[in-house]
């Protein structure tokens, strides 16, 4: 899945470059900010991609413009969404959101949206965040985003699987202090990261983590 998405993302990005001038023109005429425009495209590899172009303010710097890029893969239980995110090392990482995650996000945020509209609603406000490692966990980490927390784990050095979603007020025990620290950080600005065109060569999976012992109790509640 990761290799397919990584390689095909290059097709989506090349396609989006052709729309860059039109997007810039629209954003310059905008009167309401943040300005956002959603583009969808099916690549030659038959994957449908969504790119959300965001401009934070009228007078802008490179930190005020960014893209949200994701696709979905069909599985028996529903759509699995994969969000590509630049890392600080100029590589690309993928966050995976199974159907169960989107179901919990919908329930716990009290939303009526479903399917693609629900996914877009999640990514437009929660495309980036801060990782918090679970105490004594094997690659289990929480991802604090603007609206809540993803509870999940890294399955290799490039992929994070978000198992479920909770609101900040649902935090328990050690989570409360740890999550609150990062929740407050969303009052400021999150650094916009970028990668070069060679990211597909630099973003190969180098380490696959062992499976967590699921017979052991965990304190994440679903």
Confidence of residue 217 (pLDDT cuts 50, 70, 90): low
Q: What pLDDT does 179 receive? A: 93
Contact 93, 87 (CB under 8 A): yes
Looking at the chain, the number of H-run helices and the number of E-run strands are 6, 9
User: How do 65-75 and 48-55 pair as beta strands?
Assistant: antiparallel
Summarize the confidence of residues 156-175 as an average pLDDT: 93
Q: What is the 3-state secondary structure (H, E, C) of 73-132?
A: EEECCEEEEEEEEECCCCCEEEEEECHHHHHHHHHHCCCCCCHHHHHHHHHHHHCCCEEE
pLDDT of residue 82: 97
Residue 103 has pLDDT above 50, yes or no: yes
pLDDT band at 219 (very low <50, low <70, confident <90, very high): very low
Residue 95 pLDDT greater than 60, yes or no = yes
Q: What percent of the chain has pLDDT over 70?
A: 90
pLDDT at site 190 = 61
pLDDT digits (tens, 9 = 90+) for 115-131: 999 999 999 999 988 99
Which of 55-59, 90-94, 161-165: highest mean pLDDT? Answer: 161-165
Q: How many CB atoms lie within 10 A of CB 76?
A: 5
For the chain, the first-to-last Cα distance in angstroms comes to 25
**Half-sphere CA count of 173, side-chain side, radius 13 A:** 7
Lowest mean pLDDT: which of 42-56, 97-111, 142-156, 203-217?
203-217
For every residue of 30-52, DSSP letters joined together read --SSSEEEEEEEE-TTS-EEEEE
Element (H, E) at 184: helix 174-185
What pLDDT, on the 0 to 100 scale, is given for residue 220?
Answer: 46
Residue 160: pLDDT over 70: yes
Mean pLDDT of the chain, nearest integer: 87
Angstrom distance (rounded) from CA 123 to CA 121: 6
Task: Assign 68 to helix, strand or coil.
Answer: strand
As a whole number of angstroms, the distance between CA 151 and CA 2 comes to 20
pLDDT value of position 11: 92
Residue 12 near residue 49, CB atoms below 8 Å: yes
Task: Specify the range with the lowest mean pLDDT, choosing from 31-45, 60-74, 100-114, 121-135.
Answer: 60-74
- Using DSSP bridges, classify how beta strands 159-166 and 92-97 pair: parallel, antiparallel or unpaired: parallel
Nearest to 49 by CA among 72, 28, 67: 72
Mean pLDDT of 2-24: 88
Is the pLDDT at 218 greater than 80, yes or no? Answer: no
């Amino acid at each position: 899945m990761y290799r397919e998405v990584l390689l095909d993302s290059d097709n989506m990005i090349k396609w989006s470059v052709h729309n860059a001038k039109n997007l810039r023109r629209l954003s310059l005429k905008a009167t309401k900010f943040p300005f956002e425009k959603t583009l969808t495209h099916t690549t030659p590899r038959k994957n449908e991609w969504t790119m959300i172009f965001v401009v934070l303010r009228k007078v802008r710097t490179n930190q005020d413009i960014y893209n949200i890029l994701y696709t979905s893969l069909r599985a028996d239980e529903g759509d699995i969404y994969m969000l590509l995110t630049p890392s600080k090392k100029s590589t690309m990482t993928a966050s995976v959101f199974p159907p169960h995650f989107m179901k919990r996000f919908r329930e716990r945020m009290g939303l009526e949206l479903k399917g693609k509209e629900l996914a877009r609603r999640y990514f437009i406000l929660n495309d980036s965040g801060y990782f918090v490692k679970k105490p004594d966990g094997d690659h289990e980490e929480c991802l604090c985003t603007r609206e809540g927390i993803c509870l999940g784990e890294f399955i290799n050095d490039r992929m994070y699987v978000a198992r479920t979603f909770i609101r900040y007020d649902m935090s328990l025990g050690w989570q409360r202090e740890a999550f609150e620290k990062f929740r407050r950080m969303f009052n400021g600005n999150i650094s916009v990261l970028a990668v070069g065109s060679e990211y597909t060569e630099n973003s190969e999976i180098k380490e696959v983590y062992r499976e967590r012992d699921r017979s052991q109790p965990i304190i994440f509640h679903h």
